[in-house]
Amino acid sequence: IQKAEWRSLTIAVKTLKEPIRHATDEIEELLREIAIWKTLRHPNIVMFLGASSRPDMGLMLLMEYMPSGSLQQYLTTRLKINARESWKIALDISSAMAFLHSCSPPVIHGDLQPENILFNSFGDAKIGDFGLSKYVRATPPSSGSAQKHVRYLAPEILLWMSVSLKSDVYAFGMILLDLFTKGPKHSDYLKVAKGSAKIPVDDCKNSYAKEVVLKCIEADIKKRASFVDIVNDIEVFNNREKCTIV
């Protein structure tokens, strides 16, 4: 990602990976993804501003600049858990996802993970990279980063490569667990997918967060919560906390 100036705005620029510059099918698929992204307007979704092409650079994606880093960086560098801040981030993410899933047709993110959740200068969390991560130029992932990515993949994706709205819900549940624990712990996620191992949900000491996490990571897809339910649960909890403080 590069920082740039465009029409008096500070923006972020992402460049395509080298191998697909001349791959017609992949470029057409990318353009379809862009066509979806440019129509999405929500306060918790990174705004897509346009695309540009140069012979020496290839296709570049122009988007809202997010100066305060990613949720991945937040999880890595924080010293302690701030429950109020964690709920704020969770509400930002779930509100954006509820919006995406309410579109007609619904928009599946498909790659919801801390690296794709970014913060603006006000501390608002916003979701980016709608299926675009495989197109953006990057260094090959290390085994550690690949393991972190797998953590957010629902069992049905790991076992059958089946992606749905509820796969996004599962990913959110794992992110919420990260927010209320001291960061992700590596597990054998294939064993988790097969039911022979469990996610360490008991590491979450916030009982209400744990309850929401369990609703999100149900093995039975039909039993998983919707993002509308999740937003409602978080807002109910926040209102209850405000009443308690008063």
Which sequence positions are flagged as catalytic? 111
What is the chain's length?
246
In this structure, the number of other CB atoms found within 10 A of the CB of residue 100 comes to 22
Tell me if 59 sits within 8 A of 19, measured CB to CB.
no
Task: Specify the DSSP class assigned to residue 122.
Answer: T
Write out the two tokens for 114: 């801390």
Alpha helix segments (H runs only) across the chain: 24-37, 71-77, 83-102, 143-151, 155-160, 165-179, 189-194, 207-216, 227-245
Q: How far apart are CA 47 and CA 65, in angstroms?
A: 9
**Cα separations in angstroms, 244 against 180, 206, 221, 239:** 21, 16, 35, 9
DSSP string, 199-224: --GGG---HHHHHHHHHHS-SSGGGS
Rounded to whole angstroms, the Cα distance separating 60 from 109 reads: 21
Q: Alpha-carbon distance 186 to 143, whole Å?
A: 12
| Residue 78: Cβ-neighbour burial (10 angstroms; 0-12, 13-18, 19+) | middle
